[in-house]
Structure 1
């Protein structure tokens, strides 16, 4: 018991010495309320703060069945950005493998998910590719006539600020 009292008094002495030396004077947030003091108490505040600080998204915490459903939902947008038809077919095949695994071994909460039609996604990709080509083939807007264009100003030094100039 006497060792514990001595350790506590040593700690108290160091805190008191630091306070007297002014080591606690300019701490960030001094005089400001603690963050979240007005919010209701949440038992998992530390977990939410850790996820926010580390940049985790809430999607990583979802059950696998819901994550898979979200992948299927986002697939058309992803397919439109892929560079080749082969890449589209590979992406859809990978997702269909995951869906098949889920259908064989479903997890809670059960979300009904159907496999994705590869040919429909390839058609969607081709339409997006044609739209990009059409946008690229459109001529650029013509330059305005010389009179309407603002005159280009070249660098001019303000001579009033230079010491050589009277």
Structure 2
């Protein structure tokens, strides 16, 4: 003789299914987003960040600044005028100064300031301009 046991949770799920509470949920009939991928211990953090769009404020400011400096040419290339480029690089240099002095949260950084004239020259060259 086989005995069947339904836990409290199983009963609640069965009743909710019978009431149709799981019908028409987003993603119904679609595969799970991580199906076939290797298990990641931090899956829930990554999903939360993606869902909430919270990636900008998650890494410490000094690490974000390092990434910004790495991508400086790409960021500068989006600017339209030389004065915008000079202003942006000056602002980055000010944040670099604060990071070097320990005035920003995150791991210490020793990145040197960017040469404003060199960044402007690179911006002009990538745009196909010689001089203003």
Q: Which residue of 2 aligns with 1:56?
A: 54
Q: Map Cα deviations across residues 81-107 of structure 1 (whole Å, 9 max, x no partner).
A: 311111111001110110111111165
Contact 1:80/1:124 (8 A) holds in 2: no
Q: Distance in 1 between matches of 2:113 and 2:67?
A: 13
Q: Distance in 1 between matches of 2:44 and 2:93?
A: 37
> In proportion to residue count, which structure has more helix?
1
Q: Distance in 1 between matches of 2:81 and 2:16?
A: 68
Contact 2:90/2:116 (8 A) holds in 1: yes
Q: TM-score if structure 1 supplies the norm length?
A: 0.52
- Number of equivalent positions: 117
Q: Which residue of 2 aligns with 1:105?
A: 102
Q: 1:127 aligns with which of 125, 128, 131?
A: 125
Q: Distance in 2 between matches of 1:41 and 1:119?
A: 45
Q: TM-score if structure 2 supplies the norm length?
A: 0.63
Higher RCO (C-alpha 8 Å, min separation 6): 2
| Larger radius of gyration between Structure 1 and Structure 2 | 1
C-alpha RMSD of the superposition: 3.7
- 1:78 counterpart = 2:63: no
Q: Distance in 2 between matches of 1:111 and 1:31?
A: 48
User: Which runs of no fewer than 5 residues in structure 2 stay unpaired?
Assistant: 1-7
User: Which runs of no fewer than 5 residues in structure 1 stay unpaired?
Assistant: 1-7, 134-166
